[in-house]
Amino acid sequence: MSPFDPAKKILGLPKVHEPGLAGLKVRDFVTEVSRDTPAPGGGSVAALAGATGAGLASMVANLTKPKGDEAAQILRAAAEVAHLAKDALVLGIDQDTDAFNAYLEARRLPQGTAEEKAAREAAMQMGLKLAVEVPLATAEASLSAMEAAEAALTHGNPASLTDALVGLQCAFTGVRGGLWNVLINLKDITDSAYVSAMTDRCAGLLADAQAKLDRGCAAGDARLEGMLAKAGAER
């Protein structure tokens, strides 16, 4: 007999960053963000925003008892996408801070000789690319959460309409915040081809996310106005 280790024995168990920011109580996390230190910062908060958006999308999809097989399939798929995005984004809360700290460590490397300067610069460039790739992953996972929220908004229980809308908005914050953190780190990367490719990728992600947000908010607001009008007419 050997000790039962859930991390090794349970397939598909979400990764956990221990000890980490994601394990803090909400009040403690917000306090940690408020301190006079550069991390955790906007990247970690963007990941948290995306995760909460994914959580709401999953909630609405799972709460709904749809009429018809097509809607049921759409909501099941949305719940699965939202769940995977949520787990990835919770992990991203700590990954973003780790990436920033790795860059700071590279900046502290010695630079007394030409060889040391070259090694330091190479380490800094690698750190910057990591600091790009982590928030890019946040943006991509948050976009998946937006897709799930849009499906929940369209096919979910009308009583949970505003939950789906808040989820959509939070997930958009994850996308936008992630992309902002990509762009601010791109400015210091010397690989022009990499910078160009990432800039184009960010533009595509933002356009997709903005279209989803605009479409979802317009549909949600119209439905809310309809509910208010109907309630007023029935009084």
pLDDT digits (tens, 9 = 90+) for 97-130: 888 888 889 999 999 999 999 999 999 999 999 9
Q: What share of the chain is helix, strand, coil (3-state, %, to 5)?
A: 80, 0, 20
Q: Which two tokens stand for residue 229?
A: 């009008």
Are 209 and 177 spatial neighbours (Cβ–Cβ below 8 Å)? no
Task: Collect all residues with Cβ–Cβ distance below 8 Å to 116 and sequence separation of at least 6.
Answer: 109, 110
Q: Which carries the bigger pLDDT value, residue 156 or residue 9?
A: 156
- Give the whole-angstrom CA distance, residue 156 versus residue 74: 10
Q: What is the DSSP string of 195-206?
A: HHHHHHHHHHHH
* Percentage of the chain exceeding pLDDT 90: 83
The residue among 137, 174, 166, 138 whose CA lies nearest residue 150 is: 166
Q: Report whether pLDDT(164) > 90.
A: yes
Q: Please report the sign of the dihedral spanned by the C-alpha atoms of residue 208, residue 209, residue 210, residue 211.
A: positive
How deeply is 225 buried, as exposed, middle or buried, from its count of CB atoms within 10 A (0-12, 13-18, 19+)?
A: exposed
Instruction: Return the minimum-mean-pLDDT range out of 28-32, 44-48, 67-71.
Output: 67-71
The residue among 93, 99, 98, 97 whose CA lies nearest residue 47 is: 93
CB-side neighbour CA atoms (13 Å) of 66: 19
Are 80 and 105 spatial neighbours (Cβ–Cβ below 8 Å)? no
Give 166-217 pLDDT, tens digit per residue: 999 999 999 999 999 999 999 999 999 999 999 999 999 999 999 999 999 9
Ordered domains of the chain (ranges, CATH): 39-234 (1.20.120.680)
Helix (H) or strand (E) holding 151: helix 114-155
pLDDT of residue 104: 87
Q: What is the mean pLDDT of the chain?
A: 91
- Give the whole-angstrom CA distance, residue 29 versus residue 22: 8
**67-105 as b/e, with b when 16 or more CB fall inside 10 Å?**
eeeebeebbeebbebbbbbbbbbbbbbbbbbbbbebbee
pLDDT of residue 103: 86
